[in-house]
Amino acid sequence: MRSGHAAAALKQRELDRVEGARPEQAIAEALAAAALLAADGRWPCPPDATREAAVARVRARWVRIERHAGATL
Q: Where are the domains of the chain?
A: 2-72
Alpha carbon distance 25, 52 (integer Å): 31
pLDDT at 71: 77
Give the contacts of 43 (CB within 8 A, at least 6 positions apart): 34, 37
Q: Angle at the Cα of 62 (from 57 to 67), degrees rounded to 5?
A: 130
Interval 15-41: pLDDT, tens: 989 998 899 999 999 999 999 999 998
pLDDT the model gives residue 43: 83
